[in-house]
A and B are shown apart, each in its own frame.
Chain A
Amino acid sequence: DAGVIQSPRHEVTEMGQEVTLRCKPISGHDYLFWYRQTMMRGLELLIYFNNNVPIDDSGMPEDRFSAKMPNASFSTLKIQPSEPRDSAVYFCASSPRGGISRGYTFGSGTRLTVV
């Protein structure tokens, strides 16, 4: 199993540009989570999906952020337009059915820098 795969590993973009982060969860996992990690705020849950359906997006900071999961093997997190305060490491994680008790598997993250 290749684990949770995120791309790109690093992204540097200029303020105002659109940024798309990608995630491939572990095959067979029903849940997918997007987290953001910063020094100031730690790990924050942005949104999570169950069977490709967004369940809780209360952590999405603004309308500039959007996430989709068109199928069970792919999800995107988009920021448009990007701002310097969006600079962070973005993690995707997936979990099997019954995942609340089984823990998440995290990807290696995408380090986003907005200049």
Chain B
Amino acid sequence: AQSVTQPDIHITVSEGASLELRCNYSYGATPYLFWYVQSPGQGLQLLLKYFSGDTLVQGIKGFEAEFKRSQSSFNLRKPSVHWSDAAEYFCAVGFTSGTYKYIFGTGTRLKVLA
């Protein structure tokens, strides 16, 4: 069955530290991959996406993500976290089987210590 897993429910990092949020998917082919961020009381904002080509993709707010086919992963990274990055992050997968709906992971809540 198709699925998306974000194994970390909560992550706490200090401001200025590096960040990596994990995302794994289960699918027979390469899906469309996305990371979204949700600030409290807000909707989800698209950070970056991967469809094909270079497996390291750059997004907004200084985020990047790397697609690793062998590991079925699409981890989100940021070299230096800012206090304003505190939010919930969702990995989403779109499947190439004709449907236009995504499956979202359960989210990772990021806390940033000053």
> Interface residues, chain A, CB within 8 Å of chain B?
4, 31, 33, 42-43, 45, 48, 50, 55-56, 91, 93, 95, 99-109
Shortest CB distance A82–B (Å): 22
Q: Choose among A95, A100, A109 the residue with the greatest number of B CB atoms under 10 Å from its CB.
A: A100
Q: Is the CB of B34 within 8 A of A33?
A: no
4 smallest A-B Cβ distances: which pairs?
A106-B43, A43-B104, A106-B44, A103-B46
Assess the B104–A104 pair: CB atoms within 8 A. Answer: no
Q: Encode contact with A along B30-73: 1 for CB under 8 Å, 0 otherwise.
A: 00101010000111111001010000000000000000000000
Q: Which residues of B contact A95 (CB under 8 A)?
A: 100
User: B2 interface residue, CB < 8 Å from A?
Assistant: no
Partner of B100 from A4, A50, A107 at Cβ < 8 Å: A50
Q: Does B75 contact A (CB under 8 A)?
A: no
Hey, which chain A residues are within 8 Å of B107, CB to CB? 42-43
For the A-B complex, the count of residue pairs with Cβ-Cβ distances under 8 Å equals 51
CA distance A111 to B51 in the complex (A): 32
Q: What is the interface size of chain B, counting residues whose CB is below 8 A from a CB of the partner?
A: 22
- The answer to whether A42 touches B100 (Cβ under 8 A) is no
Q: Is the CB of A104 within 8 A of B102?
A: yes
Residue pairs across A and B with Cβ atoms less than 8 A apart, 12 shown, are A4-B43, A42-B104, A42-B105, A50-B100, A93-B44, A99-B100, A101-B51, A103-B34, A104-B102, A106-B36, A107-B43, A108-B43
Cα(A105)–Cα(B45), bound, Å? 7
Write the nearest CB–CB distance from A115 to chain B, whole angstroms.
20
Question: A34 to chain B: closest CB distance in Å?
Answer: 11
Residues of A within 8 A of B99 (CB): 56, 100
* Cα distance A100–B96 in the bound complex, in angstroms: 8
Residue in B42, B90, B94, B101 whose beta carbon sits within 8 Å of that of A108 in the complex: B42
Residues of B contacting A4 in the complex (Cβ-Cβ under 8 angstroms):
43
Smallest CB separation, A90 vs chain B (Å):
11
C-alpha spacing A93/B90, complex, angstroms: 15
Measured between beta carbons, the chain B residues less than 8 angstroms from A43 are 90, 104, 107
